[in-house]
Amino acid sequence: MVVYGEIHTGLIQHSHALSIRGTTELLAIAPGERVRVSARPLAYARSPEFLTGLDCRLPVHGRTTRAVGTAIGRAVAVGGRIVQGSTFTELRRGDRPYRLPWSHYLARPGVLETIGKCDLSKMVTDVGAETLARDALNLAAVSQRTLDLLRRRPGLDRRAPFRARSTRLRWIAYTPGEFASRPDDTATVSFTIKDSPQRILILRSRETAPRALATLCEDIAVHDWLVTTLSEILDRTGIGSRDRPEVIARLFPTIDHLLPLWMPSVRVEPSLRGVWPALEKNPGFTRQWENLVQRIRDQFTVAAVTSAMHAPP
């Protein structure tokens, strides 16, 4: 089993965190379909799923392999502050050297079948390719289109309390024994930052449910975005070069809008919760987060002490 996906994560362009009702309205992108909502332990909503038809080449080097089928797309909102466009598909080896009628592929939603011979292990090797051919499988375009659609939805005042860039997570998951060339004793998870917005996640897991794998990867993408955004805000704050009151004013939004959102793995299937301990070793998300949070708290502590020292007796 091989599942391939792409997740784009960004800030909801609104002056305050959306309520459950506001989030539900934001994600109601399919008339008549229900938005799934959960309020605890952290506000979470997921849009109805939709299908995108695909007829493309797989993004591997050295061989041209055509694949036909559909990908599942959905939007996710976390804490009324973070929004994601997520797209994924299960890759299967086809048993025919020609394309079948669309009815065959529509009867298998979220499945992309190869035409002719294909070495799917190449997908794992080449998942981090810098550029894709114009006719290659490009789930990033679908995820970005979903994110753009959400940002144009009515009800957003587009007055976000701080600037934050979007991140892109491309991921691939495969089951142990899927590829003879990749022994089962390889690392369970590999997370790589390719450049400023692009991340690559390779996961070896016994879990075979594509939606469960997508939920895990969406959770990882959220927390990577939080670390990235908080780090960039601190870099822009000018600690040591600006006056303390100005620094504090720039940091206030992080306390109101970002710090409460750190809650990894709460919606991940039990069979996949072992992935997070591996991520805590490398790249160490929680260590990075706690270090950033402590820097913010230190600024407020110093500001409070300074204010007390200069207060009249």
* pLDDT tens digits, 27-66: 999 888 999 999 999 999 999 999 999 999 887 766 678 9
For range 262-288, the mean pLDDT: 92
In angstroms, the CA 64 to CA 122 distance is 11
Q: Could you give phi then psi for residue 271, rounded to 5 degrees?
A: -65, -15
Please give the mean pLDDT across all residues of the chain. Answer: 89
Mean pLDDT of 79-95: 95
**CA torsion angle 287 212 228 292 (round to 10):** -30
Q: Given a cut of 50, is residue 150 above it in pLDDT?
A: yes
Q: Is 40 exposed, middle or buried (0-12, 13-18, 19+ CB in 10 A)?
A: exposed
Pairing of strands 50-57, 82-92: unpaired
> Band of the pLDDT at 185, cuts 50, 70, 90?
very low
- Record the pTM: 0.93
Inform me whether the pLDDT recorded for 25 exceeds 70: yes
**Residue 181 confidence (pLDDT):** 55
Indicate whether 118 pLDDT > 90.
no
Residue 113 banded pLDDT, cuts 50, 70, 90: very high
> What's the pLDDT at 43?
96
124 versus 233: the higher-pLDDT residue is 233
Say yes or no to pLDDT of 215 above 80: yes
The Cβ of residue 163 has, within 10 Å, a number of other Cβ atoms equal to 10
Residue of higher predicted confidence among 225 and 313: 225
Which amino acid, residue 232? E
The 10s digit of each residue's pLDDT in 279-303 is 999 889 999 999 999 999 999 998 8
CA atoms within 13 A on the CB side of 311: 8
Mean pLDDT confidence for 70-87: 98
Nearest to 7 by CA among 186, 156, 173, 179: 173
| % of the chain beyond a pLDDT of 90 | 67
pLDDT-derived band at 124 (thresholds 50, 70, 90) equals confident
DSSP string, 47-77: PPPEEEEEEEE-S-SSS--EEEEEEEEEEEE
Banded pLDDT at 186 (limits 50, 70, 90): very low
pLDDT at 217: 97
Residue 253, preceding peptide bond in cis (omega within 30° of 0): no
| Bridge partners (DSSP) listed for residue 11 | 82
Q: Please determine, for residue 244, whether its predicted confidence score (pLDDT) is greater than 90.
A: no
